[in-house]
Amino acid sequence: MDAITTRMTQGRGRVFESILETVGDTPAIRINTLAPEGVEIYVKAEFFNPAGSVKDRLALSIIEEAERDGHLRPGQTVVEATSGNTGIGLAMVCAAKGYPLVVTMADSFSVERRKLMRMMGAKVVLTPRAEKGFGMYRKAVELAEANGWFLARQFETEANARIHENTTAREILADFRDRRLDYWVTGYGTGGTVTGVGRVMRRERPDTKIILSEPANAQLLGSGHAQSRNADHSPAESHPAFEPHPIQGWTPDFIPHVLQEAVDGGLYDELIPVSGPDGIAWAQKLAQREGILTGVSGGATFAVAMKIAERAEKGSVVLCMLPDTGERYMSTPLFEAIPEEMTDDEVALSKSTPGYQLG
């Protein structure tokens, strides 16, 4: 007799007017195999956003706030510098709302990201990797000024931290209402997540310790070296502590203005560096032992969460951000050791029965 599943679903009780209404409300998921005994670890899976990353929140916030205040005109071209996820989020939002989008991106970032943006109608202008994030940033500024385009300014805009204050933080508070939450762990790209969530947690869950992380070989905050800025808060130059690192989406070669509030306002309790190889290793472990597919940034954040969990007292609860999905890292070191062809074990399995073998 066939087994009958007991799992049932009932729908959301609503229909959605556009893809944009599905941004946010991402789940916090318990880690069952990898968590140390006596400590609960949860991950906030931002790849449940419709375009696959936490940056969907930011992209929607930037465009809708610009529409409301009149800075973005109907049909005006949007331009932004991005390592990929913000660009993908903006491509989704602009496609849904009818705005042309031009993205500038250093050619060191994964080709999947370029293709995803182009698939949704964006133009992607590549800049030399030697010029790092500062180069792609300046290219976006040049294009905006030369063409009268709307510059999204994800690294400076108040719309960035505000969306995390209004959504991400509220979701965390609701999910852990009447429950312990001892640690919240995140990395930073623009700094919007830690700043926005940090504002709320300091007010409403001051018992929760906020742990921030950055790449071990690009410790901009850990260096103690202040970022030089222009009058509009944009970076004046590349930060001297930056080195190229494999944690795409984290830590550009400058300290964003949005992040500066978290630094100056004490919105995190501890700064822990993590290596790129550790991020890759833990992303692979999450996939293979928990069935959770995240990118290198998610693996790096989880690596730090594991360090916290291993030293935490029994009964502690840790929540870790997973910014995006692993599927946009197929051409990166995250998948380097994953074979395309059958392994010896797989060939042996194929040969263990007589039919349907490759020649």
Residues designated as active site: 55, 297
CB under 8 Å to 48, separation ≥6 — which residues?
A: 26, 27
- CB neighbourhood size of 294 (10 A): 30
Sign of the C-alpha dihedral computed for residues 325, 171, 305 and 264 taken in this order: positive
Which amino acid, residue 266?
G
Amino acid (one-letter) located at 277: P
Cα 251 from chain centroid (whole Å): 11
Phi, psi of 175 (to 5 degrees): -70, -25
How many Å apart are CA 316 and CA 307, to the nearest integer? 13
Q: What is the CA radius of gyration of the chain?
A: 21
Going by the DSSP 8-state scheme, the letter that residue 318 receives in this structure is: E
Record the tokens describing residue 35, joined without a space: 């968590």
CA distance to 39, 129, 277, per residue, from 36 (Å): 6, 40, 21
Please name the residue that has the structure tokens 């010029």: 131
Which runs of E-coded beta strand occur in the chain?
28-30, 40-45, 78-81, 101-106, 123-127, 150-151, 183-186, 209-215, 270-274, 317-322
Helices (H), 101-210: 111-119, 132-147, 158-163, 169-175, 192-204
Cβ–Cβ < 8 Å for 89, 56 = yes
Spatial distance between the Cα atoms of 287 and 32, rounded to a whole number of angstroms: 13
- How, if at all, do strands 40-45 and 28-30 pair? antiparallel
CA–CA separation, 194 vs 212, rounded Å? 8
Separation CA 48–CA 313 (nearest Å)? 31
